[in-house]
Structures are given as structure tokens and as C-alpha cells.
Amino acid sequence: MASQNADRSGVGATGAHENVLEIRNASVGFAMGRGTSKVLDDVSIDVHRGEVIGIVGESGSGKSMLADSVLDAIDPPGQLTGEITYYPPDGGEPIVTNELDEEEMRRFRWEHISMVVQGAMDSFNPTLSLQSHFEETLEAHDHDVDEGMVRARSLLEDVHLDPERILNSYPHELSGGMKQRALIALSLVLDPEVLIMDEPTAALDLLMQQSILKLLSDLKEKYNLTIMMVTHDLSHVARIADRLAVMYAFDVLEIGPTEDIVDDPAHPYTRGLLNSIPDVHAPLESMESIVGTSPDPLNVPEGCSYHPRCEIAKDECTLENPPLERVADEHRAACFYWEESREAIPLKKQQ
């Protein structure tokens, strides 16, 4: 497998690097008739070992592109550039995932990083029982099937499903919530270290969404997982995320501990996003949406991409793209005027 001369400075006492993933200058471009459409624009973030990181933002902001980049799963003709490095738990050689060839990636995926994508519930093969899905996955990765099925049963119990009943069922015999939970068990059967969930609960009702979040949080503790969770629903993921990265126009414009982002966001966009989250107790007229729409990938504004919608933008914002600046210890925001934004854009009280 491809490796790089790793930066060993983040190696902790256990021999494991403190970051499980380092995403550096990740960009995705699609060549189109009207020019090249950049749908991920030079994103660099670390994913800390053992955390839940929520990737949030409006529809079309590039969240799935960021998640797909980790496993180099961009559909052609999309082109990924940059470098995504995975650090194994045992302090072994780091792996640059976007340098793996097809066969190396086939082995890497599910063993180290599993991904459950939008609509994956429908990806079960309708002609195969759930037992066959688990067995095929184990066989494809040369795992001992008997041993693997012991783990599969235990994982199914972890997600509150009856192993015997589920393994003997066909996908159409399960409800949406059961399928989603079976899929989470399947994604963990090879004991990966990282689980990427892209809108994992979008098709489920609110109660089921909450129960899946609780399950993920329990699984994370039990199996020492790192979870990257992609969603447009900030309030939802904030319940389990240690950190949040807020995306807008194909870039991360704010990142930090969840409580900093929710209680004291620094970027005008994040403040607007929080003020637009529905509060069931508040009168409708008190809800605010952000004026304007997010940019088309072929028409991203110069300077700060948010400036046309920003109520505190100044000339400088139209000319220069602000870098992520330090707000507090681990809190960063890409805004020249983040200090001003706190007073200029008051937060409505969330329930």
C-alpha cells in the first residue's frame, strides 16, 4: 500500500497518531461544458482519533464530496486532488488513501474505514438473505466466516436486533429503521476504525433518527470508533458530535468543539444557520432564513464566497478569501470580522 513520510509529531504514548485522518488541500473538479466545476475547494481538516465529527451545511455545499474523498470514491469524471492520510491505530505506516490502486482500496475499505452513504438501505441485494450479506463481506476480505458471524450476531444485538430473525430475513422483510440498523452492523463486521455516515437517518422518522444517533454513540464507545457524520441537520448531529465542521460553497468556513459552534459561533453564516433552525416553541414569524441562495459551483463569488449574503461584509471580503483564523483554542472561523459578527448578528435562543 502507498505510504508517505509521515509527520510523526502527533504520535501519542500508545504509538497511535492523535489524528486518524488528515485531509490536506482536498479539491474535486468536474470538467463541464461551461468550465470546470469545483465542488470541493482546497479543504484541509484533521479528524481526531476517537471523536465524532459532524460535517454540516446546506444541500449542495460539498459535504458528500468531502466524505467521498476520504475513500477516493468520487464518481468519474470527477477528479480528486490533495492528500488524505490515514494513520493506523497501532502506529503503523500511514496510508495515503487517494494513492491506493483499485485492489488496495477494495481491501482498505470496510477493514479500516467503512462508509454508509445516502440511500444505502436500498443497496441490499433483494435476492440475498442478511446472513449471505454478512458472509459475502467476510469472504471478500478473507476473514474467517465462523468467527466473523459471531461478531455479526453480537453487532446485531448491539443495534437492538434479534440476530436469528434478522439473519434469516430478506431485505424486503425489514422496516427502514431495521435495515438501517442492520447496515450499521454490517459496516462494522470487519472491525474498522472509522465509520463515515452520509445523511444516515434522512429517510427515517424523528424517533428512529434519535434512536440511531444513540446507537451510534454507544457503538463508538464500545468499539473505540471514530465517526464522521455528514448531515444538513446541525441540531441533530450536535447531540452526539464532539466537533462540528461547517461547510459553505465547497469549503469549510468554521470548525471547532460542538459547544463553541452551537453556543458561540463566530462566522456570520453559522450564526445565520443557527437562527434558521426551526424551534417548535417559537412563533413562525420569529424564524429567520438567510437571504439569498448558496452559489452554483461554476459561479462562486470572488473573495469570501459568503459575502453576497453576509450582512456585515466589507470591501475586503469581496477581494480576499479569508483563511481559517483562531477564535479560541480549537475553534477556527474563516471571517475577517468574526469578532464583529457576534454583536451584529445576535443568536436567537435555541431550545
Ligand X SMILES: Nc1ncnc2c1ncn2[C@@H]1O[C@H](COP(=O)(O)OP(=O)(O)OP(=O)(O)O)[C@@H](O)[C@H]1O
Contact between 232 and ligand X per CB under 6 A? yes
Single residue of 60, 200, 256, 265 touching ligand X by CB under 6 A: 60
Contacts with ligand X in 94-123 (CB under 6 A)? none
Nearer to ligand X, 54 or 57 (CB): 57
Closest separation in Å from C-beta 227 to ligand X: 17
Contact between 54 and ligand X per CB under 6 A? no
Contact between 59 and ligand X per CB under 6 A? yes
Q: Coil, helix or strand for 24? A: strand
Contact between 201 and ligand X per CB under 6 A? no
Indicate the residue type of 165: R
Indicate the residue type of 69: S
Other C-beta atoms lying within 10 Å of the C-beta of residue 88: 15
Phi-psi category of residue 7: left, alpha or beta, with phi > 0 → left and psi -120 to 50 → alpha: beta
Q: Coil, helix or strand for 252? A: strand
Contact between 154 and ligand X per CB under 6 A? no
Nearer to ligand X, 60 or 171 (CB): 60
Nearer to ligand X, 191 or 233 (CB): 233
Contact between 61 and ligand X per CB under 6 A? yes
Nearer to ligand X, 61 or 305 (CB): 61
Contact between 332 and ligand X per CB under 6 A? no
Contact between 75 and ligand X per CB under 6 A? yes
Contact between 321 and ligand X per CB under 6 A? no
Other C-beta atoms lying within 10 Å of the C-beta of residue 67: 21
Nearer to ligand X, 137 or 180 (CB): 180
- CA 307 from chain center: how many Å? 25
Q: How far is CA 135 from CA 140, 144, 339, in A?
A: 8, 9, 55
Phi-psi category of residue 72: left, alpha or beta, with phi > 0 → left and psi -120 to 50 → alpha: left
> Max Cα separation, the chain?
65
Q: Which of 260, 318, 268 is nearest to 290 (CA)?
A: 268
Single residue of 64, 97, 169, 211 touching ligand X by CB under 6 A: 64
Count of residues in contact with ligand X, rule CB under 6 A: 15
Nearer to ligand X, 169 or 180 (CB): 180
Residue 42 CB contacts under 8 Å (≥ 6 apart), including other chains: 25, 26, 27, 82, 251
Residue 19, strand partner residues = 48
The grid coordinates of residue 203 equal 429517510
Query: Residue length, the chain?
Result: 351
Contacts with ligand X in 281-300 (CB under 6 A)? 297
Contacts with ligand X, 5-44, as mask; x by CB under 6 A: -------------------------x------x-x-----
Nearer to ligand X, 41 or 51 (CB): 41
Single residue of 63, 153, 181, 220 touching ligand X by CB under 6 A: 63
Q: Which of 87, 26, 58, 53 is nearest to 228 (CA)?
A: 53
Q: Which residues of this chain interact with ligand X, rule CB under 6 A?
A: 30, 37, 39, 57, 59-65, 75, 78, 232, 297
